Amino acid sequence: MKRREAFKMFLKPGFEDEYQRRHAALWPEMKELLKETGVSNYSIYWDKDTNILFAYQEVEGDAGSQDLGDNPVVKKWWDYMADIMEVNPDNSPVSIPLDERFHMD
């Protein structure tokens, strides 16, 4: 059974275009890892007034995209993105889970 997950992250000011560019060229190995893990229907939205990134994904399995920090591909991606996002000491993005309050099929 798939579950829906949403979370927010924080983009550093001035890196809006760079963030878009990097995700437009998402590494094939990252995309494959997410699919193999059961992550699908993954979207990230940008609020230009706050520089908050809102992410939504559907997950089948135990781990969403934010749970893959032990994978070398993910660690490499985090390092690649660390200069344009707010990150934790291990370069993982500061990510705050959001509770679902309404859903309509």
Question: What are the residue numbers of the active site?
Answer: 23
Report the alpha-carbon distance of residue 18 to residue 20 in Å, rounded.
5
Residue 98: name the closest of 25, 20, 4, 35 by CA: 4
Report the alpha-carbon distance of residue 36 to residue 78 in Å, rounded.
19
* Cα angle for residues 23, 27, 33 (degrees, 5° grid): 110
